Every structure is written in structure tokens, then in C-alpha cells.
């Protein structure tokens, strides 16, 4: 059995190193493992089908579609205008606008890549025109985009709940992400301001409270998407899946009827992008389910727990080791795949030392979100550099203050349970 476990991890590592898509790497590893254990290969496909047939997965395409509609339907531009009216008057104002807009848009789209695409195409060129360094513009944009993962709704939290066996409340995960996400954005805002002051970047003129009010009214229909989704879940009106569907319908109605910015061409682009993303996610879920079946067969989680406890029984040390492992893995693999792979591996370890599964979910989201901004496979980093037309090497040389801000937020999320658990306990009665 030990050789079988080593075999599937060697094949998995070879697949990652050679650039094979992670979904296929997981599937091939699982198939080889089943053949080695003399289990009917049909079980691989049974496990894949079971993994992709969960009802709660329906929320994912709806959230992805809502985010794409907002990206192409004018909501992002209005959120940028609102953020500019509120904080653009500060030194390095456009950097503050970027962080604030990411918090607003991320809380609606739920996607770091969508956040970077929507806001970056507007704000990165605007900052360059105002004399900001291109590296600064890209750094602020890509790091602030992690808000889309932390601030609900987030389809990655749904994936985490499923990877944990479906026993973790998605509603609790949604509300647990609000405070860590806001604190992370506040720390990023401090970093952006400090760098802007050091470089002597300008401030935007203050437009007055009337301008703030008018931009808020203009952005309100788009902002209501998040209010409807979270309010419906909190009030017991919707399940998470139903709220995702209603949020998608609301986004279409707002962009089509209120803003009148959604054209037939942009609608087709949004649908096609949603289908592609959903297909990738579902294939990952299916192959990861088959791979996870083998890990359970080999009792890998128990072996890892014993191994980590043999190093140290101090929870601080164990959580530090897990954070380092997640950060390292995030540099070389896609986020959704890592959630599906690492959750059944590390969750038993953290629960054995007393960490709440919801809190660990926030630790994983922030960890792997940071991985999206790191080479060699950071999707958000690539998108930001492509928009800014700047080499990755130039961006990495000056990104450290922003990574530092995220790491501080990660440390607080890891070692301060109340940061993640207070809102779920107050609003949902979680854990009572």
C-alpha cells in the first residue's frame, strides 16, 4: 500500500512538472492507482460522476455567470467611479481607488481573475497616464484582486465545502470571509499609500459629498447584487444555490434594463467564458474526487497528521508548516485544484489541533489567493502583466510591500479565530 501511495504522487508530480493540465494529471494518477490496487477502472469514472453530480455545485456556474455579466455589462466602471469619489482624493489616490473598487467588485464577482480583468483594463492605463509606475499599477491591481476570493460570494468557498465532504456550511464560509477580506484590503491600502508617498504620486481632486452621493446612486443597482445574495441567505429566503441563480438573473436585469450596457455580443462572450470556466471546475472536481478516494483508501490524512505531530505538537508550529506548504504549492498549481487536493489532506490535521474548519477555509482561501499573484503559474499575475504590458520580472521586484500586507492579514487569520468566526456566530448562530 505504501508503494501505491508513492506511485500516485510520483505520477502526479511528473504531470505537474511536464505541464499536463492538473485535471488530467489527477485523473491519470487515480487511474494508475486503481490499476495498481487491482480495482476495476470503472470505479474511477463512477467517482468522477459522483463528484460532479452534487446539487450544491449548481451555485458555481451561476456565480461565475453573474461575475461575467458584471464584467461586460458596465457595473465595474460604476464601482470604480464610486471608489474614486470616496478615496481618490488621497495621495496615490488611484491606488486607493483600485483597492476599494476591488473590495466592491470582488464582493459581487467572487473571482480574482474577473476582478483583475474588469478593473485592471480601466485602472492600470489610467494610472500610467497619471504618471504612476506601471509596476505599481499592476501590483496594486493583482494583490487587491484577492478580495474577490475572500469577500462573498466566492465559488472557491463552495469548492472548499465540497472538498471537505459537504459538511461545512457555505453560508458560514461566506460570512467568515468578510472581516479577513476587509482587513486584508485595509492593509493593502496602507501599503499602496506608503509606496505612493515614497514615490511622490499625485492625489485626485475632491469632488464633494454631492459627487459621492450621485456616484453611489448610479452604482447602487449593481451593489444590490451582493445585498440580495447575502441578505437572501441570511434571511433564510434563499439557499446558496438559489441565491446564486437569483443573483445571475438580477445582474442580467440590471445591465440590460437599468444600465443598458449589455449588448448581444457581450452577452455571448459572457456565456462562453462562463461555460469554459465551469467546465474546467467540474472536470477538476470529478478527477479530484477519484484521486481523493485513493487518498482515503491509503489513509493518507492519518499518516500526515501523525507525521506533523511527530515534528511538533505545538499548534503554532503546525499551522506555520501548513501555511508554508500551501504558499509553496500555490506557486506551482491552480487554486481550485489545490483546494480539492489539499482540503482532505490538511483539514484532519488542523481539526486535530482544535482549529475550526470554517477558519481553516479562510486560511486556505487567502493562502492560495496569494499564490495567484506569484510565478511561475499565477493566473492573476499573468493577466495583470498582460494588461500593463510589463515583464513579470519588473513587477516581482517591487511587489514585496503588497505581499507583506497580505502575509500580515494571513497571520491574523491563522492565529486569531475571532477574525473569521465572529460574524458566522453572530449572524447564523454557527457553532452554538
Report pLDDT digits (tens) over 195-209. Answer: 888 888 877 777 778
Query: Any idea which residue has 490535521 for its cell?
Result: 349
**Is residue 32 a contact partner of residue 8, using CB atoms and an 8 Å limit?**
yes
The pLDDT score that the predictor gives to residue 406 is 94
How many CA atoms lie less than 13 Å away from 135 in the CB half-sphere?
Answer: 14
Range among 49-53, 98-102, 105-109, 248-252 rated most confident: 248-252
Checking if the pLDDT of 391 tops 70, the result is yes
The pLDDT score that the predictor gives to residue 1 is 53
pLDDT category at 359 given cuts 50, 70, 90 is very high
The pLDDT score that the predictor gives to residue 403 is 93
Tell me phi and psi for residue 206, to 5 degrees. Answer: -80, 125
Q: Is 409 exposed, middle or buried (0-12, 13-18, 19+ CB in 10 A)?
A: buried
**Is residue 380 a contact partner of residue 112, using CB atoms and an 8 Å limit?**
yes
Range among 123-137, 159-173, 352-366, 372-386 rated most confident: 352-366
The pLDDT score that the predictor gives to residue 400 is 92
**Is residue 374 a contact partner of residue 392, using CB atoms and an 8 Å limit?**
no
Checking if the pLDDT of 108 tops 70, the result is no
Closest CA to 60 of 154, 181, 198: 154
Which grid coordinates belong to 252? 442580467
The pLDDT score that the predictor gives to residue 337 is 77
Which grid coordinates belong to 284? 477538476
Q: How far apart are CA 252 and CA 249, in angstroms?
A: 5
Mean pLDDT across the chain, nearest whole number?
A: 82
- To the nearest 10°, the Cα dihedral for 213, 219, 223, 225? 140
Helix/strand/coil percentages in the chain, nearest 5: 80, 0, 20
Q: Please give the model's pTM, rounded to 2 decimal places.
A: 0.79
The pLDDT score that the predictor gives to residue 225 is 76
Q: Which of 11-15, 293-297, 340-344 has the lowest mean pLDDT?
A: 293-297
Q: How far apart are CA 90 and CA 105, in angstroms?
A: 20
The alpha carbon of 32 is separated from its chain's Cα centroid by a whole number of angstroms, namely 31
**Is residue 241 a contact partner of residue 60, using CB atoms and an 8 Å limit?**
no
Checking if the pLDDT of 407 tops 70, the result is yes
Checking if the pLDDT of 62 tops 70, the result is yes
How many CA atoms lie less than 13 Å away from 263 in the CB half-sphere?
Answer: 3
Tell me the DSSP string of 103-151: HHHHHHH--HHHHHHHHHHHHHHHHHHTT--HHHHHHHHHHHTTHHHHS
Higher-scoring residue by pLDDT: 192, 310: 192
**C-alpha distance from residue 86 to each of 108, 215, 296 (Å):** 19, 9, 51
The alpha carbon of 274 is separated from its chain's Cα centroid by a whole number of angstroms, namely 16
Closest CA to 355 of 326, 319, 383, 392: 319
The pLDDT score that the predictor gives to residue 42 is 82
Amino acid at each position: 500500500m505504501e508503494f501505491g501511495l508513492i506511485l500516485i504522487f510520483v505520477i502526479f508530480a511528473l504531470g505537474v512538472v511536464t505541464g499536463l493540465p492538473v485535471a488530467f494529471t489527477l485523473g491519470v494518477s487515480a487511474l494508475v492507482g486503481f490499476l495498481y490496487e487491482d480495482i476495476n477502472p470503472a470505479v474511477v469514472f463512477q467517482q468522477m460522476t459522483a463528484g460532479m453530480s452534487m446539487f450544491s455545485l449548481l451555485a458555481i456556474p451561476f456565480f461565475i455567470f453573474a461575475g461575467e455579466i458584471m464584467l461586460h455589462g458596465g457595473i465595474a466602471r460604476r464601482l470604480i467611479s464610486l471608489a474614486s469619489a470616496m478615496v481618490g482624493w488621497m495621495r496615490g489616490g488611484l491606488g486607493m481607488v483600485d483597492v476599494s473598487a476591488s473590495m466592491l467588485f470582488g464582493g459581487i464577482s467572487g473571482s480574482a481573475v474577473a476582478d483583475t480583468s474588469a478593473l485592471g483594463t480601466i485602472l492600470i492605463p489610467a494610472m500610467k497616464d497619471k504618471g504612476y509606475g506601471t509596476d505599481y499599477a499592476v501590483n496594486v491591481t493583482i494583490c487587491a484582486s484577492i478580495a474577490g476570493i475572500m469577500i462573498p460570494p466566492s465559488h472557491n468557498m463552495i469548492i472548499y465545502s465540497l472538498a471537505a465532504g459537504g459538511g461545512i456550511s457555505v453560508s458560514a464560509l461566506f460570512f467568515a470571509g468578510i472581516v479577513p477580506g476587509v482587513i486584508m484590503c485595509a492593509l493593502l491600502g496602507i501599503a499602496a499609500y506608503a509606496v505612493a508617498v515614497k514615490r511622490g504620486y499625485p492625489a485626485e481632486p475632491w469632488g464633494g459629498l454631492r459627487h459621492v452621493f450621485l456616484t453611489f446612486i448610479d452604482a447602487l443597482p449593481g451593489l444590490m447584487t451582493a445585498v440580495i445574495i447575502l441578505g437572501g441567505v441570511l434571511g433564510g429566503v434563499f439557499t446558496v444555490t438559489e441565491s446564486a441563480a437569483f443573483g445571475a438573473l438580477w445582474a442580467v436585469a440590471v445591465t440590460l434594463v437599468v444600465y443598458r450596457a449589455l449588448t448581444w455580443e457581450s452577452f455571448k462572450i459572457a456565456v462562453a467564458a462562463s461555460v469554459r470556466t465551469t467546465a474546467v471546475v467540474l472536470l477538476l472536481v470529478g478527477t479530484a474526487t477519484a484521486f481523493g478516494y485513493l487518498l482515503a483508501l491509503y489513509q493518507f490524512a492519518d499518516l500526515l497528521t501523525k507525521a506533523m505531530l511527530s515534528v511538533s505538537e505545538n499548534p503554532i508550529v503546525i499551522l506555520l508548516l501548513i501555511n508554508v506548504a500551501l504558499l509553496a504549492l500555490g506557486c506551482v498549481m491552480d487554486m481550485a485544484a489545490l483546494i480539492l487536493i489539499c482540503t482532505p489532506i490538511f483539514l484532519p490535521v488542523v481539526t486535530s489541533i482544535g482549529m475550526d474548519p470554517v477558519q481553516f477555509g479562510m486560511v486556505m482561501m487567502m493562502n492560495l489567493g496569494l499564490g495567484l499573484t506569484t510565478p511561475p503559474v499565477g493566473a492573476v499575475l499573468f493577466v495583470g502583466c498582460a494588461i500593463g504590458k510589463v515583464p513579470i520580472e519588473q513587477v516581482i521586484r517591487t511587489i514585496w510591500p503588497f505581499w507583506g500586507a497580505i502575509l500580515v492579514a494571513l497571520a491574523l487569520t491563522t492565529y486569531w479565530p475571532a477574525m473569521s468566526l465572529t460574524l458566522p456566530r453572530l449572524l447564523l448562530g454557527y457553532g452554538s
